[in-house]
Amino acid sequence: MSQPLFVLNGPSLQLLGKREPHLYGHETLAQIEARCAATAKAHGREIVFRQTNHEGALIDWIFEARETAAGLVLNGAAYTHTSVALHDALRTLSIPVIEVHLSNPYAREAFRQHSYVSPVARGVICGLGPIGYELAIAALADILKKETPPA
């Protein structure tokens, strides 16, 4: 079996479906995880899907991904806009990273319009709701297919 794709989620995302559904939609994080697993399976991949409210845990998982994952989908949530430590951890990766946001941070408050993740991500998907995660997984699968030498 090939290395999994990590799908990591930052603070408050456990409240999806309840917290500001006008911004983030009505789907729960568990429903998004199921969509991600199905999309990954369709591309012959598995996922490791996690959420934390703790910056250090998120960074530890990024370092774990460095050793065990083929690619990373990251919704850093608020840490996207505040965490130099998150940026520095992502810089250590040689695997592709796709940044995902359910809402469009560029259509929101000015402080959300800066990302410490974007400069170290292969791509950014924002404002499309939960399908953004599926698009990120499909993009990673395509990148890996093109960039991984045949066995």
**Would you please indicate which residues are annotated as catalytic (active-site) residues?**
24, 101
Specify the amino acid at residue 47. I
Question: Could you tell me the two tokens for 22?
Answer: 């006008």
Question: Could you tell me the two tokens for 114?
Answer: 């800066």
> CA-CA distance, 144 to 114, in Å (whole number)?
28
> CA-CA distance, 76 to 138, in Å (whole number)?
19
How many C-beta atoms surround the C-beta of residue 80 within 10 A?
Answer: 25
Name every residue whose Cβ is closer than 8 Å to that of residue 28 and which is 6 or more positions away in sequence. Answer: 16, 17
Contact yes or no for 4/69 (Cβ under 8 A): yes
